[in-house]
Amino acid sequence: MRKILLTFCLTTFSIFVSAQEFDATSVVTELADLMNRNYVYPEHGEAMYTLLINKLNNGEYDQFETKKELASALDADLKSVVYDKHIRVSFDRERANRIQNRDPNGGREPLANSGFEKVEILEHNIGYLDLRGFVDIRYAEDDAIPAMDKLIQADAIIFDLRQNGGGSPSMIRFISSYIFGDVPVHLNTFYWRPGDSYSETWTNPEFASVRKPDIPVFVLTSDYTFSAAEEFTYNLKHTKRATIVGEVTGGGAHPGGPSVFGDGFIVNIPRGRAINPITKKNWEGVGVVPHILTSSEDALDKAIELAEKALNKN
């Protein structure tokens, strides 16, 4: 009888401990403060702070028994204030540790070949690049330089960004330098809430082994195309340097980065916003609208057709 009673008590105790395995108060308070101090629009950051603290004081976060459940709820609450696709809250202690150890990939697995999935020359000397991410050029030179040196030998270029979720403006700058001329071109400006500062990205002719400012360029998009991939597309569209073919993109123009809080929680905080030097706007919430709207599945065939016409090969 004593053994049964002891087992019952231990089971009850383990359930109680499981339900109290973390302190939601410190987690929520830290996240609220991070968003209030860093989110690109101060009024939205303050509104997020107010929402989270009010819900915390009302006991609405007491119901969650695991950190992953709490992270999911916090993610939804932040996005209820402003639906910014760059906002992401998660719980992943291993990734959080990698971020705290300054992993250049933000704690994620690095892209194979720095995102340069396929580089080939198609019929009629049309260059094709399937690019899956814009990795910081500091870590991608060994892949990016030979890929672009091969691609720029073509008579027309197709950049396939249909499976590209974004990355670093430094790679945008590097690639763009091959398809503009000898004079640097202003690609984009960013406003950064922390520090209340601005930064600009320009092409650098010295980056490119060969520069072809008149080569026909086509960019393929899908609704998955996001963030830096959208910036590249938006830049080339409004400088009239490329024809965009495919679907309207995802609509994320607020860059930032991950912050670790609460022992294993991660929040991606949009700290800045893009300001195109031509439109004075960006693609946040609306995406980049292609010149040629078609399904992502048909985009490559359509771009090849347009490239052949541009080269008078049809």
**Does some domain include residue 193?**
yes
pLDDT tens profile 192-232: 999 999 999 999 999 999 999 999 999 999 999 999 999 99
Residue 156 lies in a domain: yes
- pLDDT tops 50 at residue 20: no
User: Would you mind telling me the total number of residues written for the chain in this entry?
Assistant: 314
Domain-embedded: residue 120: yes
| Domains: count for the chain | 1
Q: Is residue 5 part of a domain?
A: no
pLDDT band of 314, cuts 50, 70, 90:
low
221 in any annotated domain: yes
Q: What is the mean pLDDT of the chain?
A: 93
Residue 261 lies in a domain: no
Distance, CA of 200 to CA of 194 (rounded, Å) = 16
- How far, in Å, CA of 24 to CA of 261, rounded? 12
Please state, in angstroms and rounded to a whole number, the distance separating the CA atoms of residues 314 and 303: 13
Q: Tokens at residue 92, please?
A: 């992943």
Per-residue pLDDT, 32: 98
Name the residue range of residue 284's domain: 113-256+270-310
Which CATH number do you get for residue 134?
3.90.226.10
Residue 46 lies in a domain: no
183 within domain boundaries: yes
Q: Tell me the pTM.
A: 0.91
Contacts of 167 (CB under 8 A, 6+ apart): 115, 133, 134, 135, 136, 227, 228, 229
